[in-house]
Amino acid sequence: MNLLFSLRNAVVVISPRGPLALRRMIAHWVVLAAAALTTLVAATVAAALTVFTGQALPQAVKHDLVIAPATTLSVTTLMSDPGQAAQGSAALHARIAAAMPGIPFSFYAALWSDPLGLVRGALPAPPPSAGQGNAALLQAAAMSGIASHAALVAGQWPPAAASTPGQPIPAALPASAAALLHVRAGDVLRLRDRVTNALVSFDITGVFVPRQGDGPSGAYWKLSYFPASGRSASFGSTTYGPLVVGRVAFGPALTVLSESWVAQPAMTAFQEADLNPVSAGVAALGESLPNSGVLNGAQLTTSLPARPRDRHRAWPPNSGRWP
């Protein structure tokens, strides 16, 4: 009974047929409640936007960095002594580390031979792909880490140990170049150094295909002077290769012409605050290399980006540079 009386009184209190003052008070409460709810929603949205700006946008920038193409540092220089080349590799590694403090990076080096011309009556025969009137050349290279970035389709990689003096130098060819030259594993190529005029023979121990990848995963092949086609055409000549050999092959039998390096920063290690100092460090490195000691004349190429001017704009993933 008391419960029913209480419920009846409650109905009277909220009924629109109650006293005028009470109805006006209820109306004011509704307005105040709506205003309070609006304020709460606005504060929640503002907090969400703050979190998005502070976390989501930097994460988006970092994601673009991780998948960005052309973030490698590629360096080339003329070189005539394998011993000097080893010193150059050590010096360059140290200088790249100083330019990008705290950022880990992969590092690979390649020695490149003089251009090697064909010998009449010996393998390989002049390929039609060289073009009429063009000299057909090959170039040998010792590329560090290649077995981890290519797959053999025939034969085996050349051994790391030095070959017997007077015997052909073990070498592997990319499948694309081997097809153009009509060469296969087991063939012996006889070539002539176009600089020293010395005869050099190669035993083709294997044929391989590069493992390609997008963005940083494909950075290794920037070490090579050759595209995936296995041929590089220039005015008056077409060069095939690389003839991949062990580093010990360079010496009296095979002359060093140049060296190339590639460094790929671990883009997952980058923070947004790293971009400005790393960009400045790499730019300073590129300016100083041409006049540096053992690396005299070295040229650095990179598209490693600087920090974007507007953090609210994502870096286009295929642009190679910041907007």
Q: In angstroms, how far is the first alpha carbon of the chain from the final one?
A: 77
pLDDT in tens, 230-242: 999 998 999 999 9
pLDDT (0 to 100) of residue 206: 98
pLDDT in tens, 104-127: 999 999 999 999 999 999 999 999
**Cα Rg of the chain (Å, integer):** 34
User: Along the 323 residues of the chain, how does pLDDT read in single tens digits?
Assistant: 443 334 344 333 334 444 544 444 444 555 455 555 455 544 544 444 444 444 443 555 555 555 555 689 999 999 888 888 889 999 999 999 999 999 999 999 999 999 999 999 999 999 999 888 899 999 999 999 999 999 999 999 999 887 788 899 999 999 999 999 999 999 999 999 999 999 999 999 999 999 877 666 678 999 999 999 999 999 899 999 999 999 999 988 899 999 999 999 998 888 878 888 998 999 999 999 998 888 889 999 987 765 444 333 333 333 333 22
Question: What is the rounded CA–CA span in Å between residue 150 and residue 109?
Answer: 16
Cα pseudo-dihedral 142, 147, 148, 149, rounded to 10: 70
Closest CA to 92 of 243, 216, 223: 223
pLDDT (0 to 100) of residue 231: 96
pTM metric for this prediction: 0.75
pLDDT (0 to 100) of residue 306: 56
Question: What is the rounded CA–CA span in Å between residue 211 and residue 154?
Answer: 15
Which strand (E) or helix (H) includes residue 280? helix 275-288
pLDDT (0 to 100) of residue 310: 38
Domain assignments of the chain as residue spans, ordered by start: 2-64, 71-302
Hey, what amino acid is at 12? V
Which strand (E) or helix (H) includes residue 231? strand 231-234
Integer CA distances (angstroms), 192 to 106, 120, 133, 203, 241, in order: 35, 10, 19, 15, 15
pLDDT (0 to 100) of residue 83: 80
Phi, psi of 217, rounded to the nearest 5 degrees? -65, -20
- For residue 237, the number of C-alpha atoms closer than 13 Å in the C-beta half-sphere is 12
Q: Is 267 helix (H, G, I), strand (E, B) or coil?
A: helix
pLDDT (0 to 100) of residue 164: 82
pLDDT mean across residues, the chain: 79
pLDDT (0 to 100) of residue 65: 55
Burial of 86 by CB count in 10 Å (0-12 exposed, 13-18 middle, 19+ buried)?
middle
